[in-house]
Amino acid sequence: MKPAAFDYFKPASVSDALALLAEHPDSCKILAGGQSLVPAMNFRLARPDILIDINDLSELDYIRTSSDRLHIGALTRHAAFHRPVIAAPLGRLLSKVVRHIAHYPIRQRGTFAGSVAHADPASEWCLVATTLGAEMVAHSVRGERLIEASAFFQGTFTTALAADELLAEVRLPLLSEGWRTGFYEFSRRAGDFALGMAVAALKVQAGTICVAHLGVGGVGDRAIRLVALERQLVGQSASIAIVDEIARAARALVEPDGDIHASPEYRRDLIATSVKRALTEALT
Ligand SMILES: Cc1cc2nc3c(=O)[nH]c(=O)nc-3n(C[C@H](O)[C@H](O)[C@H](O)COP(=O)(O)OP(=O)(O)OC[C@H]3O[C@@H](n4cnc5c(N)ncnc54)[C@H](O)[C@@H]3O)c2cc1C
């Protein structure tokens, strides 16, 4: 298949890109890694009149830290996370998660921000962003806007980004000392999208969980933060004795649809297992 005809722009600055977005908000698409957009165009599921290729905007290719955040620029490729980008537990978590995203060549081109903007319900980065409470930094000719993950993801392939906005940066909490993390994903083959997955991040002080982040993905139209179970975890002793109870509760909380890949019952089982393994990893 070949895409429908389109005009192609490769701006030399972010301000030029924003001006193009402002001029053609409803008929253009940003091209980042192209690993989701190009297949969609080839199948004519997406038919933008104009592509704005941001690959020359090297000022968007960065990973920086501030006192409490990891700042991920829009052109940061998945492959940048193959090795821990920081020594803190967050670096190890991201380097574990990234190996579940597609295949090596796709990870060389696809971007963290492109995944977040694309908002596939089974995207690993969307799960991480939702669970850790990421902030998205949107730029347009109107200025900068910060969007919390809880407001950003609105459903399958749907976000709070306006048509003239570029997702310029994603900010994750640094998870410095005292944090422990875990991730587990089940997919049919290496590189496939997840049928069920979970992320856990627990802050432990003096043997007690004092902050908990727990989220699941691959069920429903977006990743889900299990806020009720996070509350249940806080105040508990940091031991694997609590893992089975939380996994059973997660199973009851999710309401997956069935499809050709898995029945709702099977997906619930996968979620319970993913939560159990992610929490066990974080607590051992
Ligand atoms: C065979 C295959 C397997 C895959 N498996 C997985 C997987 O297991 N898990 C997973 O998460 N992904 C998977 N992917 C998708 C891959 O991770 C993509 O890289 C990612 O979804 C999109 O990132 P991208 O940079 O390629 O974005 P693009 O394809 O360039 O763009 C995707 C969408 O986001 C928009 N966009 C991109 N960047 C921005 C921005 N900065 N601001 C605003 N809008 C923007 C585009 O306009 C477009 O609508 C797979 C892809 C393939 C081809």
Q: pTM score, two decimals? A: 0.97
pLDDT, mean of residues 93-120: 98
| 38 CA: nearest ligand 1 atom | 29
Ligand 1 surroundings by CB, under 6 angstroms: 29-37, 39, 74, 101-102, 106, 110-111, 113-115, 117-118, 120, 123-125, 161, 166-167, 191, 193
7-53 matches 58-173 in fold: no
CATH of 58-173, one of 3.40.50.1970, 3.40.50.300, 1.10.10.10, 3.30.465.10: 3.30.465.10
17, two tokens: 């890109």
DSSP string, 165-209: -EEEEEEEE---TTEEEEEEEE-SSTTSPPSEEEEEEEEEETTEE
How many Å lie between the centroid of ligand 1 and the Cα of residue 32?
8
How many Å lie between the centroid of ligand 1 and the Cα of residue 115?
4
d(CA 148, CA 9) in angstroms, rounded, equals 30
Q: What is the CATH number of domain 7-53?
A: 3.30.43.10
pLDDT bucket at 223, cuts 50 / 70 / 90: very high
pLDDT at 224: 97
pLDDT at 176: 86
High-pLDDT (> 90) share of the chain, %: 94
CATH of 179-283, one of 3.30.390.50, 3.40.225.10, 3.30.428.10, 3.20.20.70: 3.30.390.50
d(CA 205, CA 202) in angstroms, rounded, equals 10
Q: What is the mean pLDDT of the chain?
A: 96
* 138, 154 Cβ separation under 8 angstroms: no
Alpha carbon nearest to ligand 1 atom 36, residue: 114
- How does pLDDT run across 146-159, given as a tens digit for each residue? 999 999 999 999 99
For residue 119, report the phi and psi dihedrals to the nearest 5 degrees: 60, 45
Facing residues of 201 across strands? 181, 213
